[in-house]
């Protein structure tokens, strides 16, 4: 065998050794201020993603007020109603997560983190300028594609930067920072949607403000490094080591002397062969069972999260509350979005992810039924806050859960594949909720949500793996 052939034959095993060594060093990182700053910087990039995602429900009354869309339609798949607007959002998210999740595995977490945000911000600007229902739906669909890619990239990014012992807290803080966008967009909608400042519909101002603010990503990206695990897995060990040493130094501790430095010259002389991971790997053991489990989970959890979040103002209006009041109540409820994950950070790493998700799903079902029965504003707001808090607790937990169970080489595409089911579910949930609202009322909407939460509990509590304290599979 030639020397070149021997080098190629040795490449995968040596690369695995290098990746394992880097993973061990990442696992030993202290919970330093520098590491938390990285989590917060990534979360600030995701802030605009959440702003863009959640204005879907808050600008809905403005879209109906302007005459572009209607609250419900006679046809089940009516493309002139709010259900179609929600469907367009999540159809785009489905395309982004299902078909483009591999991009972060192929080109890197940092690259996709940056450009996906810019793509959906640009599409949102164009959407804000549309004067027809068809134009709004088309550009909302295109914005959703960028959103879908962005969400799973951030999840993979944080999973790979943070040691297992603090990963739950990191995702709780990540969600708290990102979800602070929700009360902001709710407040702006409350102020602007009923008005037409400078002769421009208020809902358009809400969209444009978020798109303009997202330009801050060009500043944030200067301070966020690429994932060392992704670099090592793709044969770029020298870069991975340099970033890892910066993170270690930023933690205030001594930089761990790397036994891999002597290999840098060899890497420069002989490129490492990196086998491409594919979706086919996800459809055979040991990953197939996990893929099926999280697909079922995501199909159902979307009804709890988006069946409520995207319809809060509309559900309140259907209960006889004025548009302005419904937006005011929605803003109060929205305050729970960032507060719930912050509270959850106190127990995020003390309990298994599966039990946190299951308990949250039970709470959503119980208080959803109560929301449907009440008419008093105080009770409605209280139930809305509890439902929102439970939804966001479940959200931070499953965002960590469905990324840490898969290995590095397929983490982003695996998370994208399973998460795309929530986007597919939410796409049709817009039409289903609109239908249930018209035919059965608010009570029927929450009966549907409760049934979906029952499936979540059965799937996750019965079949979910234990992950607390487990290191990542870096292969």
pLDDT at 65: 85
DSSP assignment letter at 164: G
Q: What is the mean pLDDT of the chain?
A: 84
Decide: 402 and 167 in contact? Cβ < 8 Å. no
pLDDT at 463: 96
- 11 pLDDT higher than 50: no
- Of 94, 96, 323, 21, the residue nearest 192 (C-alpha): 323
pLDDT at 10: 44
Domain span at residue 418 reads: 31-235+272-463
Tell me whether residue 6 is in a domain.
Answer: no
- Of 465, 175, 471, 182, the residue nearest 345 (C-alpha): 175
Ramachandran assignment for 108, one of left (phi > 0), alpha (psi -120 to 50 degrees), beta (any other): left
Tell me whether residue 367 is in a domain.
Answer: yes
- 117 pLDDT higher than 90: no
> Which residues on neighbouring strands pair with residue 70, listed in sequence order?
81
pLDDT at 260: 46
Q: How confident is the model at residue 77 (pLDDT cuts 50, 70, 90)?
A: low
pLDDT at 72: 60
Tell me whether residue 136 is in a domain.
Answer: yes
Distances in Å between the alpha carbon of 422 and those of 61, 67, 93, 301?
24, 29, 9, 7
Tell me whether residue 22 is in a domain.
Answer: no
Give residue-wise pLDDT tens across range 351-361.
999 999 999 99
Tell me whether residue 242 is in a domain.
Answer: no
Angle at 288 between CA 351 and CA 394, to 5 degrees: 30
Tell me whether residue 425 is in a domain.
Answer: yes
Six-digit token string for 411: 């983490």
Tell me whether residue 196 is in a domain.
Answer: yes
Q: What domain count does the chain have? A: 1
Give residue-wise pLDDT tens across range 359-397.
999 999 999 899 888 888 889 899 999 999 999 999 999
CATH number of the domain within which 130 lies = 1.20.1250.20
pLDDT at 459: 97
Tell me whether residue 17 is in a domain.
Answer: no
Q: Kindly give the interhelix angle for 202-213 and 109-128, rounded to the nearest 10 degrees.
A: 160
């Amino acid at each position: 065998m030639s020397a070149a052939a021997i080098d190629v034959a040795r490449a995968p095993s040596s690369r695995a050794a290098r990746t394992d060594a880097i993973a061990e060093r990442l696992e030993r990182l202290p919970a330093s201020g520098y590491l938390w700053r990285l989590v917060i910087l990534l979360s600030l990039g995701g802030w605009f993603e959440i702003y863009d995602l959640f204005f879907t429900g808050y600008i809905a009354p403005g879209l109906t007020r302007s005459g572009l869309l209607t609250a419900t339609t006679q046809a089940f798949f009516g493309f002139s109603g709010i259900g179609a607007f929600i469907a367009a959002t999540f159809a785009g998210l489905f395309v982004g997560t299902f078909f483009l999740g591999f991009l972060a595995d192929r080109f890197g977490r940092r690259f996709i983190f940056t450009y996906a945000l810019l793509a959906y911000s640009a599409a949102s600007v164009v959407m804000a300028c549309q004067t027809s229902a068809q134009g709004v739906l088309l550009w909302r669909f295109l914005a959703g594609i960028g959103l879908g890619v962005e969400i799973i990239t951030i999840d993979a990014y944080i999973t790979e930067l943070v040691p297992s012992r603090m990963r739950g807290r990191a995702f709780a803080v990540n969600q708290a920072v990102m979800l602070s966008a929700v009360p902001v967009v709710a407040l702006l909608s409350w102020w602007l949607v009923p008005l037409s400042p400078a002769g421009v519909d208020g809902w358009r101002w809400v969209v444009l403000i978020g798109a303009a603010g997202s330009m801050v990503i060009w500043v944030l990206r200067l301070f966020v490094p690429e994932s060392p695990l992704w670099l090592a897995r793709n044969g770029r060990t020298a870069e991975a080591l340099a970033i890892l040493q910066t993170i270690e130094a930023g933690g205030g501790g001594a930089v761990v002397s790397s036994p891999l430095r002597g290999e840098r010259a060899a890497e420069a002389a002989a490129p490492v062969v990196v086998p491409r991971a594919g979706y086919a790997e996800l459809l055979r053991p040991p990953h197939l069972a996990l893929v099926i489990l999280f697909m079922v989970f995501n199909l159902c959890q979307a009804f709890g999260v988006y069946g409520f979040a995207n319809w809060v103002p509309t559900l309140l209006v259907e209960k006889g509350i004025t548009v302005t009041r419904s937006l005011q109540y929605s803003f109060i409820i929205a305050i729970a979005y960032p507060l719930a994950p912050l509270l959850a950070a106190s127990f995020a790493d003390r309990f298994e992810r599966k039990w946190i998700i299951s308990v949250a799903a039970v709470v959503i079902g119980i208080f959803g039924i109560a929301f449907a029965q009440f008419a008093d504003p105080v009770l409605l707001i209280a139930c809305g806050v509890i439902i929102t808090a439970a939804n966001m607790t479940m959200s931070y937990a499953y965002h960590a859960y469905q990324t840490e169970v898969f290995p590095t080489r397929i983490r982003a595409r695996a998370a994208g594949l399973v998460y795309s089911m929530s986007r597919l579910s939410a796409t049709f949930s817009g039409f289903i909720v609109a239908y249930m609202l018209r035919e059965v009322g608010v009570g029927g909407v929450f009966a549907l949500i409760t049934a979906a939460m029952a499936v979540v509990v059965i799937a996750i509590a019965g079949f979910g793996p234990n992950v607390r304290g487990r290191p990542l599979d870096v292969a």
